Structure 1
Amino acid sequence: MPHLILASASPRRRELLEQIGVHFDCRPVDICEDPLQQESAREYVTRLAQEKALAGLEQAGGDSVVLGSDTTVAIDDHILAKPANEDEAVAMLMQLSSRRHQVLTAVALAAEGKVEVCCVETDVEFIELDDARCRQYWRTGESCDKAGAYGIQGLGAVFVKSINGSYSAVVGLPLMETAAMLQKFDIPLWQPN
């Protein structure tokens, strides 16, 4: 049976894989995450997921299967990455205020001679926000490492008016699609600890 490696330091992705009973090792990789010029949000997350999986496979070798994933928030196909500071986070949140945006999560699995990638898009609509509330949220520390400056699985859930699509993809890993891909690579689900 091949061994699964998660090429990510994300605690959310670890929790989601554990939720579906997958055994894996966590070995984060370091790649440049800057968007390319004229790159769409979908192209961006798909490229990063694949680069992470391939970089992890190069490190691991053997009969490993490596899962790489990336999530971004986009509004009008403009990528909202992780904010660099409070003002940037507030600007992002205000841009999302009272609007529908997309959360795109790509998953790539790589093994010797085989790579598969999928991208899941979920629509999320926010309530109306104001500057003071956004700054209060920033001070919780939750938004500093999140694409789009919020986490739906945490305190940022109170901003979400509606969601159309995969909740787990917004958190960081679309479970239905990931499970189907893992089965193609002979990685079993629901393994006992």
Structure 2
Amino acid sequence: MPLVPSYIYLASRSPRRRELLRQIGVHFEVLTFRGGERGEDADVNETPYTNEDVERYVVRLALTKAESGIRRLQWRHLPPAPMLAADTTLELDGEIIGKPADAADAAAILRRLSGRSHRILTAVAISNGSRTRYRLNVSDVRFRTLGDTEIRHYADSGEPMDKAGAYGIQGRAAMFIEEIRGSYSGIMGLPLFETAELLKEFDYPLI
């Protein structure tokens, strides 16, 4: 009989994903990276492939992160456990919009989102080395019309800098959002329904 995992690894440095996993009672260890590696996406090519649509893009990144995490466990001779990874991106007019390069880029992105609807896509993947599974969550978000002053102040606050689409729903940008259709946790970066379904597939005891 296979052993029931008592914890998982999280292949992400995102504090929001850690918070969401704790919310549903998941015990996890964050997979850290040694010097010389460029953070959580060191092995992941985040440049979209030619003609790659946003759904395939975000799924590809989540799967690659999970499988890369498993390889690190093996390299470092760490105890085996399921590896969870996720990727979140924003899509507007068919364009993939990632994290802003600087405050000016964040402001430019927010001006494009002002008064319009966009999609937030989060893919979550789990691998145990022998099998890998994923789920995709897609949510629609509508911004009210934003003024230039509030865009500038928000961009200068630093909050947009590590977030796909240059905003975080759990922060100050919540006051920009007129309507959401989908998953609040998915917009934050880890859709909890899909995550729980995946954890069940790997026999992780949630309740």
Q: TM-score, normalised by structure 1?
A: 0.94
Are positions 1:4 and 2:40 aligned together?
A: no
* Alignment match, 1:60: 73
Asked whether 1:158 is paired with 2:175, we answer yes
2: CA distance between counterparts of 1:155 and 1:183?
34
Q: Deviation string for 1:68-96 (max 9, x for gaps)?
A: 10000111121110000122111111111
SS state of the match for residue 113, structure 1?
coil
Please, what is the CA RMSD of the aligned residues?
1.2
| Residue type of the alignment partner of 2:28 | F
Gaps of 5+ in 2: 33-39
Cα deviation for residue 38 of structure 1 reads 1.9
What pairs with 1:153-192 in structure 2 (closer than 5 Å)? 153-190=170-207
Helix, strand or coil for the counterpart of 1:128? Answer: coil
Aligned equivalent of 1:127, options 115, 132, 144? 144
Q: 8 Å contact 2:98–2:165 — kept in the other structure?
A: yes
Provide the secondary structure at the position in 1 that maps to 2:18. Answer: helix
Q: SS in structure 2 opposite 1:187?
A: coil
| Aligned 1:1-193 pairs, distance under 5 A | 1-2=4-5, 3-28=7-32, 29=40, 30=42, 31-61=44-74, 63-190=80-207
Q: Which runs of 4+ in 1 moved over 3 A?
A: none
Taking the aligned partners of 2:88 and 2:205, their CA distance within structure 1 comes to 24
CA distance in 2, matches of 1:90, 1:173: 25
8 Å CA contact retained: 2:137, 2:191:
yes
Give me the whole-angstrom Cα distance separating, in 1, the residues matched to 2:91 and 2:145.
18
Give the number of aligned pairs. 190
Once the 2 structures are TM-superposed, how far is the Cα of residue 139 of structure 1 from its aligned partner? 1.6
Q: What whole-Å deviation, never above 9, does each CA across 1:97-128 have from its counterpart, x for those lacking one?
A: 11110000000110121110111100000000
Stretch moving more, 34-43 or 102-111: 34-43
Which letter maps to 2:120? V
Helix, strand or coil at the partner of 1:22: coil
Deviates more, 1:100-109 or 1:124-133: 124-133
In structure 1, distance between residues paired with 2:171 and 2:65: 26
Distance 1:119 1:132 in 2: 35
User: Shift of residue 130 of structure 1?
Assistant: 2.5
